[in-house]
Amino acid sequence: MRLTLKVWRQPKGATKGHFETYETDGVSPDMSFLEMLDVVNDRLTLDGQDPIAFDHDCREGICGTCGMVINGVAHGPERATTACQLHMRHFRDGDVIHIEPWRAAAFPVIKDLVVDRGALDRIMEAGGFVTAPTGAAPEAHSTLVPKEAADAAFEAAACIQCGACVAACPNASAMLFTAAKVAHLSRLPQGQPERYGRVVKMVATHDAAGFGNCTNIGECAAVCPKEIKLDTITALNRDVISSTLFQ
């Protein structure tokens, strides 16, 4: 395959960025998107040029680090797929592909396609954990959890903290991420003692980090690689309202 790549290049956050055009050929349809970028970077290095900086780690759709906007869509055109799982067979020979970083005030660009997603970590630090002392580990069946609650908690816990929801949202809101991290604990017995304090702290940290407000447009759920549902935000809003009664 022969492709034309228009890649966002920005030496560092304080400098002005621009799109750089790269013509590349010999791309196998079986390559992942990141493997294709590896090939481009090898050629740039051999030519004495600065390779394209992009985040990656597991390359198995688990770690959430491979965030980039591909042709205007977070993680690219395939649903429930991270950039590292996206294969070049989903593109056609001769295609022009635009590649850029997440665009959000809360995600400052570090270099090229790499952004600082530390704001998501700060939301987790505000309450994405259980601190209530529970003593020794209980027997596995001593606390019954309804299957509906267990399934809902598992679905929310599947969030990989990639930030695609922020990149897709016109308001640059991280509310789907925050809701998922709140929901996977609030649905389980272990998360009940700190349930309402947790949601207040995490939402307050979300707002303080510079993320926008949620207006229920739904772009976040549409691009989420783990298909976190939009009604997860509804559950968060319910807990925020309830916190005024139970705190």
- Structure confidence at residue 244 (pLDDT): 87
Alpha helices in the chain (DSSP H): 33-46, 118-127, 147-157, 164-168, 175-186, 195-208, 219-223, 231-246
DSSP 212-225: -------HHHHH-T
Measuring CA to CA, how many Å separate 62 from each of 114, 158, 159? Answer: 18, 9, 9
Residue 3 is inside which H or E element, if any? strand 3-9
Distance between CA 138 and CA 140 in Å, rounded? 6
Output the tens digit of pLDDT for each of the chain's 247 residues.
999 999 999 999 889 999 999 999 999 999 999 999 999 999 999 999 999 999 999 999 999 999 999 999 999 999 999 999 999 999 999 999 999 999 999 999 999 999 999 999 999 999 999 887 767 777 767 788 899 999 999 999 999 999 999 999 999 999 999 999 999 999 998 899 999 999 999 999 999 999 999 999 999 999 999 999 999 999 999 999 999 887 6
Give the relative orientation of helices 231-246 and 175-186 as an angle to the nearest 10 degrees.
Answer: 60
Fold of 117-132+143-246: Fumarate Reductase Iron-sulfur Protein; Chain B, domain 2 (1.10.1060)
- The rounded Cα 218 to chain-centroid distance in angstroms is 15
- Say if 3-110 and 117-132+143-246 have the same CATH topology: no
Q: What is the DSSP letter of 240?
A: H
According to CATH, the topology of domain 3-110 is Ubiquitin-like (UB roll) (3.10.20)
- Cα atoms in the Cβ-side hemisphere of radius 13 Å centred on 134: 14
Q: Give the domain ranges of the chain.
A: 3-110, 117-132+143-246
Which residues partner with 9 through β-bridges? 18
